[in-house]
Amino acid sequence: MRDLQVSFSQTQRVRFQSALQQLKDLSPGSGPAATVVVADSIPVNLEDSVLKGHGTAESDGQLVATVCGVVERVNKLVYVRPFRARYKPEIGDIIVGRVIEVAPKRWRLEINFSQDAVLMLSSMNLPDGIQRRRTAVDELNMRSIFEEDDVICAEVRGFQHDGSLQLQARSQKYGKLERGQLLTVPPYLVKRRKQHFHHLEDDGVDLIVGCNGYIWVGEHLETGENVMLEDQDNHMEKDGKSNLKLKGDQDEEGTFTSVETRRSICRIANAIRLLSALGFTLSLEAIIDTVELSFASNISVKDMLAAEFYVQTAEREVERRVSKLRKKA
């Protein structure tokens, strides 16, 4: 639970604290040994060949915690899962980052990690889509692909010999992200899943949940050169040469985002901010459920970050967990 900068009324504060207490009671593994702070004793029998994992140490014949977190047990392995952990990259992670430097044959990105990441020119698709060797001309035209402050999506490829993180973007789903919002959340709230790219068809919004704690919410854009060519051919056949628009008008139409789409982007972004402030895991189901709750409660986009909706979201989470336990029983 992060520090909330929200002013609650007396009634709202009582409801909110009650909901938090119920969530604590309903959390899996709740008990005296579930949550520990530094130097707390972890009740285990060391004679049973217990494996001491991360966040634990042996002191005076007892197993104690070296970090604040939740005690986890996997067979004989006992470790402490920290409440707030930094992002630890793994090969195959989907990340969202911002370009901070265009260097020779590479872009340097800030990805919410202790070190900057590197995207090599040879590790991404060229704009023409042709697989070929990169030439000096391609290196001179690097700024036409990505430049400083551009937000892009990529995949973790591995680590270089100097410890820096290497990325790759050899797919149409990777690349530059435009016409949306970049959100920053604690990385520990994002769990690694099979799918981190989500297209919300009803809202016309793309949601990319980066493992590094950067989340992109933007207008849905079709990817792929073939889609662009097909749209261009259909437009030519339909309108004919006499109805062709000026280039400036085409560019303006191509970069225009409708008001409804903008509202959807802001509503989804506020749902993510709300869940992040409450410390809830950021999954697609939780985000959609929060958006639907705002519609059901007739909450406007700006009021989603007000005190009342914080209380309603916490109470809704209590109902969801109680219902889940009843189904298991």
Q: What is the dihedral of CA 317, 321, 324, 326, to 10 degrees?
A: -130
Question: What torsion, rounded to 10 degrees, do the Cα atoms 15, 17, 21, 27 define?
Answer: 90
pLDDT computed for residue 329 by the predictor = 67
Residue 275 has pLDDT above 70, yes or no: yes
| Chain segment 91-102, per-residue pLDDT in tens | 999 999 999 999
Query: Is residue 43's pLDDT more than 70?
Result: yes
| pLDDT one-digit tens code per residue, 220-255 | 887 654 433 344 444 444 444 434 343 444 444 556
Please give the pLDDT value at position 1.
Answer: 52
Q: What is the mean pLDDT of the chain?
A: 83
Strands (E), the chain: 35-36, 41-42, 51-52, 56-59, 62-65, 69-74, 77-82, 94-103, 106-110, 117-124, 151-159, 165-169, 175-177, 180-184, 197-200, 205-209, 214-219
Ramachandran bin of 15, using left for φ above 0, alpha for ψ from -120 to 50, beta for the remaining angles: alpha
Going through 160-204 in order, the beta strands assigned E by DSSP cover 165-169, 175-177, 180-184, 197-200
- DSSP state string for 262-277: HHHHHHHHHHHHHHHH
Give the separation between CA 197 and CA 192, rounded to whole angstroms. 12
Q: Which pLDDT belongs to residue 248? A: 47
Least confident of 50-64, 200-214, 290-304: 50-64
Average pLDDT of the segment spanning 303-324: 91
- Exposed / middle / buried, residue 5 (Cβ in 10 Å: 0-12, 13-18, 19+): exposed
Residues 260-271: pLDDT tens digits? 999 999 999 999
Ordered domains of the chain (ranges, CATH):
1-30+179-329 (no CATH), 32-82 (2.40.50.100), 85-177 (2.40.50.140)
pLDDT of residue 117: 92
- Does the pTM of the predicted model rise above 0.85? no
